[in-house]
Structure 1
Amino acid sequence: MKRNTMLVLLALPAGVATWSGWVGLGEKTGFGMVTPLPGIADGFQINTAITLPIGVETYAAYALGAWLKTGSRVSEITRTFAKWSAVGSLALGMLGQIAFHLLEISARAKAPDWITAAVSVLPVLVLGMGAALGHLLTCDAAKAPELPAERASDLHAVATTNPRRKPPARAARPPKRTAVKRTVAGIDDLMPIGRSIAADLEDRGLSLTRDRLLKAVRDTGRSMSSDRASALLARLKSEANPSPAEAVPKQRQAA
Structure 2
Amino acid sequence: MTKTPSRWPLLLLALPAAVATWSGWVGLGRMTGFGKVTPLPGIADSFVIDTAITLPIGVETYAAYALGAWFSSAAAISPSTRAFAKWSAIGSLALGMLGQVAYHLLEIAGQTKAPVLITTVVSCLPVLVLGMGAALGHMLARDLRTDPAGEPPAEITEDIKPLTEAAKPTRPARPRPPRRTAKARRTATPTPDVDDLMPVGWQIAAELDREGVPLTRERLKEAIKQTGQSISTDRAGALLARLKAEAPTGPDTTVGPLPAEAA
Q: Normalized against structure 2, the TM-score is what?
A: 0.54
Amino acid at match of 1:106: A
Pairing 1:20–2:11 present: no
Instruction: Specify the alignment match of 2:102 in structure 1.
Output: 99
**Alpha-carbon separation, structure 2, partners of 1:119 and 1:10:** 26
**Alpha-carbon separation, structure 2, partners of 1:130 and 1:94:** 19
Aligned-pair CA distance for 1:5: 1.6
Pairing 1:68–2:110 present: no
Amino acid at match of 1:105: I
Q: 2:88 aligns with which of 81, 85, 88?
A: 85
Aligned-pair CA distance for 1:2: 7.4
Aligned-pair CA distance for 1:4: 2.1
Verify the 8 A CA contact 2:75 2:148 in the aligned structure 1: no
Verify the 8 A CA contact 1:67 1:83 in the aligned structure 2: yes
Verify the 8 A CA contact 1:59 1:130 in the aligned structure 2: yes
**Alpha-carbon separation, structure 1, partners of 2:124 and 2:5:** 39
**Alpha-carbon separation, structure 2, partners of 1:90 and 1:17:** 14
Aligned counterparts, 1:171-250, within 5 A: none
Amino acid at match of 1:119: V
Aligned-pair CA distance for 1:146: 4.6
Q: Percent identity?
A: 69
Amino acid at match of 1:132: A
Runs of at least 4 residues off by over 6 Å = none
Instruction: Specify the alignment match of 2:60 in structure 1.
Output: 57
**Alpha-carbon separation, structure 1, partners of 2:116 and 2:16:** 30
Task: Considering fraction of residues, name the structure with more helix.
Answer: 1
Please, which runs of 5 or more residues in structure 2 have no aligned partner?
A: 152-263
Question: What is the root-mean-square deviation of aligned Cα atoms in Å?
Answer: 1.6
Verify the 8 A CA contact 1:60 1:85 in the aligned structure 2: yes
Q: Residue 117 and residue 129 in structure 1: after superposition, are their counterparts in 2 closer, same or farther (change >3 A)?
A: same
Aligned-pair CA distance for 1:71: 3.2
Amino acid at match of 2:122: V
Instruction: Specify the alignment match of 1:120 in structure 2.
Output: 123
**Alpha-carbon separation, structure 2, partners of 1:3 and 1:44:** 41
1:30-79 alpha-carbon deviations (Å, 9 max, x no partner): 00000011111110000000000000000000001101100341101100
2:72 is paired with a residue whose SS is coil
Verify the 8 A CA contact 1:73 1:147 in the aligned structure 2: no
Q: Normalized against structure 1, the TM-score is what?
A: 0.56
**Alpha-carbon separation, structure 1, partners of 2:80 and 2:138:** 12
Instruction: Specify the alignment match of 1:142 in structure 2.
Output: 145
Verify the 8 A CA contact 1:29 1:120 in the aligned structure 2: yes
Please, which runs of 5 or more residues in structure 1 have no aligned partner?
A: 149-255
